[in-house]
Structure 1
Amino acid sequence: MNVPTLASQRISLRPFHETDMEIVKSLLTDPLATSNLPWVSATSHLNAENFYTHLMDNDPYFFMIEMKNYDLPIGFMKVSTDQSHLLDFALLEEYWHRDILIEAFQLLHPYLVEQGISELYLKVESTHTDSCDFAKRIGFLYEYSYEVKDGSTVRLYHMILIPETARFNPDMWQTHSERFIEAL
């Protein structure tokens, strides 16, 4: 699949290039950059490279986030190709609070609709208020929360992109038997 470059006046989402591996390793090993994600950051660059290879390599919905007129990526946005269509993202801390992820998602949204992706899920560590706010600001709806092995709480958000073809995904509901609704 040919992954396009999607661009706004300020940022671009582009396909991964081999030269991006160092920044991806840095993002995946940075606990702050991945603090929004419900999985633990990689413990080493080798671990990060293995993680990338197994989960993201050749993924048609893996985009590097790049500021225009700046040749280095500052983050990534990814949608899994399995039935869950799970959205993951990471952004270098110095670019937080600039609405870059919102702008990136606004670029990605029409492309996903064009590709026939009818819905998305987003899992966010509940203590990462910036990412929970991001989910709400781009239109995700809170579904439920669940605890993970380390005792932290993860929130599951859901967004329907194409109502006519969206289907309830029982796998997302059945995966977490100990789920609960938080008073948000």
Structure 2
Amino acid sequence: MLGGLFIPPVKDLNETEDFFEKRLKDKRYCFAICLKDDDYLVGYVHAEEDDSHDFGYALRKEFWHQGIVSEAGNAVIELLKEDGIPYITATHDKNNPGSGAVMKRIGMKYCYTYKEQWQPKNFPVIFRMYQLNFDGQIDRIYQKYWNLYDEHFIETDI
């Protein structure tokens, strides 16, 4: 899982197409990430249109740590601002601090942490929730996950 969207392992093209049809197709803020030199597809970036405005991304591992997601994320953020989206949120597994580093690089701020019995694998995961407000309401914090999960807290060493 990266940036809020679980990417299941796919075995073949049919499973890939099924994932695309169910999770990504016809989304207004879903974009492929391609290399500038040759348009080679290396990942995607998206923002949900629901009240969370959840920002997510996935990138092939061999392209990590090159600033690719940060660059793509900043482009999507500019579009969201132009369209009047007031904020974005994103979550990452505490055990995946690299994803949190991307969130910080694009200007997101840590808000809180919560523990969820994560599906589809049915095991507990501690998620960190980040947010970036575009409309000047700097103190607004999306509370859905805080209110939804009994175990939540604010980490001070982030």
CA RMSD of superposed structures (Å):
2.3
Partner of 1:104: 72
- Residue number among 79, 88, 93 corresponding to 2:56 in the alignment: 88
* TM-score where L is the length of structure 2: 0.82
State the Cα deviation string for residues 78-121 of structure 1 (Å, max 9, x = none): 10011110011000111111111111122111111011111000
Distance 2:141 2:4 in 1: 22
Using the size of structure 1 for normalisation, the TM-score is 0.72
Change (3 A) 1:101 1:50: same
1:42: Cα distance to partner? 1.4
Which stretches in structure 1 are left out of the alignment for 5+ residues?
1-33
Partner residue, 2:134: 161
Which residue identity lines up with residue 141 of structure 1 in the other structure?
K
**TM-aligned CA distance change 1:174 to 1:52, over 3 Å:** farther
Does structure 1 residue 173 correspond to structure 2 residue 146?
yes
Give, in whole Å, the separation in 2 of the partners of 1:168 and 1:128. 22
The answer to whether the 8 Å contact 2:34/2:40 transfers is yes
Distance 1:167 1:55, change over 3 A: farther
Q: Give the secondary-structure state (helix, strand or coil) at the position aligned to 2:130.
A: strand
Between the aligned residues of both structures, percent identity stands at 26
User: Equivalences for 1:1-184 in 2 at 5 Å?
Assistant: 34=1, 36-38=2-4, 40-44=6-10, 45=12, 46-149=14-117, 150-163=123-136, 169-182=142-155, 183-184=157-158
